Amino acid sequence: MNARKFISVTFSTFVVALFSATCPAIAGDAPMVKVAGGSFKSGKDQKPVSVKKFQIDKFEVTNAQYKEFQKDFSVPAGKENHPVVEISYFDAEGYCKSVGKRLPTRAEWEKAARGEDGRVYPWGNEFNSANANTLESEINDTTPVGSYKNGQSPYGAMDMCGNVWEWVDGWDGTEKKYRILMGGSYFDDANKSATYSTLTSIPDDTHTFSGFRCAK
């Protein structure tokens, strides 16, 4: 192999390795983390709640991933690896089904975010603006998924505090009019981005600060 060809092959290998290291896999191959079944302390009042074991996406679904599902979806320039936003509950549900998954329940999402010990944030009870994209970060926009390495949950899930609110499979109240989103966003402060924080919305509504992740 001549020197020019060797350099070309080496550079191509480096680019592929760099992309793989910085970007989560797309569509059904998205990495997931395992969450043990059993009881955990739920809500601000830390009421015991039990769930069965499950898996949940390590990252929020990205613009690049969503385009694999919706071919006419327009990815914002430079935001391929940012969480997809302006997605309704029905859009999120449809995507998860298309990759053989589902939306997590409210209890599943919360346990994946806080573990069993009732912590307020994925990393502990004290807020740290260096661990999440919230209002305190003063970014005022989404960030690439997985940007806050020290903000991971006890199970290794990323961005479960801030970045975007996430749709879950749950209703607010018995009238079944409003669906639930969890985790806060870049638009919300620390108090609204706790592991038990919720937002309600009609299921066909969309927002610039809401997205989702899948479970199975």
**Which pLDDT does position 9 carry in this prediction?**
36
**Which pLDDT does position 14 carry in this prediction?**
37
Domain range annotation of the chain = 26-211
Task: Domain 26-211: state its class.
Answer: alpha beta
Cβ atoms 203, 175 nearer than 8 A = no
Q: Confidence band (pLDDT; 50, 70, 90) for 48?
A: very high
pLDDT in tens, 6-46: 333 333 333 333 433 444 444 447 999 999 999 999 999 99
pLDDT in tens, 68-123: 999 999 999 999 999 999 999 999 999 999 999 999 999 999 999 999 999 999 99
**Which pLDDT does position 13 carry in this prediction?**
35
**Which residues face 124 on adjacent strands?**
121
**Which pLDDT does position 29 carry in this prediction?**
74
Which carries the bigger pLDDT value, residue 1 or residue 160?
160
Quote the pTM value: 0.86
pLDDT in tens, 147-206: 999 999 999 999 999 999 999 999 998 999 999 999 999 999 999 999 999 999 999 999
